[in-house]
Structure 1
Amino acid sequence: MAKKVSIKDIASAAGVSATTVSIVLNGRAREMKISEAMAKKVEKLAEKLNYRPNLFAKGLRTGKTHTIGLIVDDISNYFFGHLAKVVEEEADKKGYTVMFCSSENNEGKSRNILNMLVDKHMDGYIIAPTTFMLPELEKLIAEKRPTVLIDRYFPSLNSNFVTVDNFTGSLEAINHLASKAVKKIALVTNDTDQLQMQQRIDGYVSGLKKNKLPLDPSLVKKIPFGRPEAKQVKDLVQFFSRMKGKFDAVFFTSNNLGVAGLEAFNLLGLTVPDQVSVLCFDDNDLFRLGKPGITVMSQPIKQMAKKAVEVLVKQIEQADSPLSHVVLHTQLIERASVQ
């Protein structure tokens, strides 16, 4: 009997990741910005290899589709891309496939994709929620649909969640900067109500107070969530130019803001760390490979993803399993951007 072809087999033949194959086969290549040529290549290989998931038939037999819905802000983002990869790997080990969606923190899209996944009868959901999703999530929980929130959660919602200690991570970041004798620490963050960002801001403020450093509101720059990178860079060039001489370090609360900030420094001719020290919440390949390397508070992405799948599958298979509230710790990775 011929071996059943898996997504990993198609990925190996196509020379791409299993995540890419899954996105294409779920009909979301254009939305996830996968090229038409690559999508056609994957589809042709799937046909050639006679790939047949047959989830519908399985669902009729068992009442389950063995499919998990994953919603994140932007799957092309370093953090969420790596998270999605591990979620898929862990789900595959447990016999589940994953349907990926990006909310782009857009109100209409957030609600539509969640409702779409519900209509497709996912066995469970792993969601990095936007603030707009709360009513739909309340309904999801009330209907006892297995759900795990990841990266952030709603304190008012009695749900499973896996996150990191954002407050302590930011506090430790400021402590590290203060230990290097910097005195004026600017903050670049997103203008959003998302809990994890508010916790990082609170950690920044507490860190300044703890180290008896001044809290200058003019040194806090909030950039709208989802703003295109080119506009982020433009905003930061203007901000850093206006604040020139008023700061000697910058703490970025996300890796995408950190990348935009480094580009702004380059355009302004500001050198890191000679003229400004930099520390970013969350890592990025650019921070690891670039010169100088950027010091970061790294999130345990693999551990977060593995735990989220573990909690979700347990709830799928044991409906009466107790709720899990998992808070993991960040890790300071020192490189060369702070002196």
Structure 2
Amino acid sequence: MLEFIHTAPCMDWLNGLEPDMSVKVLTCLDNPKDLVQISTVSCTWRQIVVENGLCKKLCLRMFPQLSRVGHVIESNNSDAKDYAEVGSSNSKEWDTLEREHRVYAFLAHACTSFPEGDCISKAISASSTDNYPEESIQHTLVFSVARRASYWSSKGQKNPAVPEMLTYKLKSDFVIVTEINIHPFKAYFQHGSPIYSARGVRFRMGHAKFPIVESDPMEESCHDDKFEWTHTSQVFPMAQKNCLQTFKLPEPVLCIGGFLQIELVGRVQRQEMDDLFYICVSHVQVKGKSLGPAFSVETNVPSGLFVLKRQTKFNQPSLPENESDAISTGDLERHGREMLPIVNVLLANVDFEEYYE
């Protein structure tokens, strides 16, 4: 195999495969950098990658939430004309495919290379608050100092099954969420220092149905009718412990729209003075990768599909995007070595060199 690669460097073995087989081979690549480099090898290879939207398919495998993206645009210049004229000519179709290739290639790369950190921007609302502002949801965004009461508290309920919702805005419209950390509050000033945790927690991510107007902070509403949740997690059990508890998602979730709702399911602790059940949270963290300002999204589109926007002036991290960014000989040989076993499997018992002869 390797001798074949070295002795016949000008022979494009991908041309010897049926079109469907070529796509299957290249679809096996799961590194966005490899796909971009592959697209610079030759016009034929680039055409296969671009026409079949392989970078887009890679992104969809990583984040199924992208299935609702109906169109992509670049930079801040107006692409409304392109949007309306897609499919009006072969040239327009190719321009659209090229644009999708660039945007999704950069998106896939950004998903793996952007730094991870705390992704909460601000608190939006709580479904109830016992004493405002002393027990406001805003207190959940700062670490509590020892022996200092800094927390959010729900109103008391006779029924321990009544849930509570905390809604937050994330740092951008495009955030990859990997885990949420929640610290239940320990009321050290009450007899026995009870911990007001929930029995479980569920997470929802999505976007606003229309622009959110800053409301009266005294309004006790989670605005649930104003959001469309595109992802809802399982219910994670919460321990009645005075610590920052980590709830790691089974797979990273792409939050399109930048809103997160935490549903606190079930109440554990009854307050001695009024015999009602409460839930109190000391601190909330959302860990992940914010992809703004490199990417943003328009959600209020008549078609119901999203418009993905890439800011081309955002240069880091970078990927080669033109044929002038040539792939090295070493990289080409490495790709050849990686893909030849795949070709063998797909071709079953057909000898590779005999196939070319």
Q: TM-score range by the shorter chain?
A: under 0.3
TM-score normalised over the length of structure 1: 0.24
Higher strand share: 2
Larger Rg computed on CA atoms = 2
Name which structure has the greater RCO, CA cutoff 8 Å, separation 6+. Answer: 2
TM-score normalised over the length of structure 2: 0.23
Higher helix share: 1
